[in-house]
Amino acid sequence: MKKVILASTSTLYNGDYLDYLLPALSKHFSNCKTLLFIPYARPSGISHDDYTQKVSVAFAKINITVNGIHNYKNTTEAIQNAEAIFTGGGNTFLLVSQLYKNNLMTVLKNTIEAGTPYLGTSAGSNIGGMTMNTTNDMPIVLPESFETLGLIPFNLNPHFLDANKQSTHMGETRETRINEFHTVSKIPVLGLREGSWLKIYDENITLKGDLSARLFRQNEPAVELEMNTSLNFLT
């Protein structure tokens, strides 16, 4: 059975890394002693080693040992043999580029679909969608393709922000950018606010967390989805 959590963010304001998610992760990874971490997104340019160490500190709180994929000679086998997998946030373009460069996108998808528990945060959640086209990140590299894992039949926009009517900022809102995407694509987009995540178990997709999410579909008004809403109607 597919067991996936796709979270908007790894860290809430004034919180420690992954702390708000640990109760859910303790259940999600209840049968796992080790976890394979994919640090390719490198937020703020952090090294693979330092990023893996940061993740190790968080997962030690639930008694799980973390191993970085960059330490394996055969990264394909590392994914196939993993008890659990976590892809962290950072730059989605860099993450997707590295997954394709190392021929890992397909093996990662197949391994997750076969039942290996998976966690994604931010960029690691972006790749759970059909494509990475609704990322917020700067295109610092050009990936081989924008197609991603397709664990859900729609795209995600993590860190979704509502328009601030008091702001003097004249740039595009997140909603504007997603509407632009829908001039060229029919793929639905879910705007995930901070502290919210998707729980995908088998073919059931449920919105979890404390906040609603905003669903965008081509040529339709955006709608708010409340916590614990099933998104199975999108399948």
Residue 137 annotated in active site? yes
- Tell me the domains of the chain and their CATH numbers: 3-234 (3.40.50.880)
Query: Rounded CA gap, 222 and 28, in Å?
Result: 31
Confidence at residue 13, expressed as pLDDT on a 0 to 100 scale: 79
Tokens of 215: 């669903």
CA 127 to chain centroid? 6
Of 122, 125, 182, 196, the active-site residue reads 122
Phi, psi (deg, nearest 5) at residue 190: -105, 120
- 140, exposed or middle or buried, with CB in 10 Å at 0-12, 13-18, 19+? exposed
pLDDT along the chain (235 residues), means of 10: 96 91 97 98 97 98 98 98 98 98 98 98 98 97 98 97 68 89 98 96 96 97 96 93
Active-site annotation holds for 56: no
Note if 44 is an active site residue: no
**Active-site choice (48, 56, 159, 212):** 159
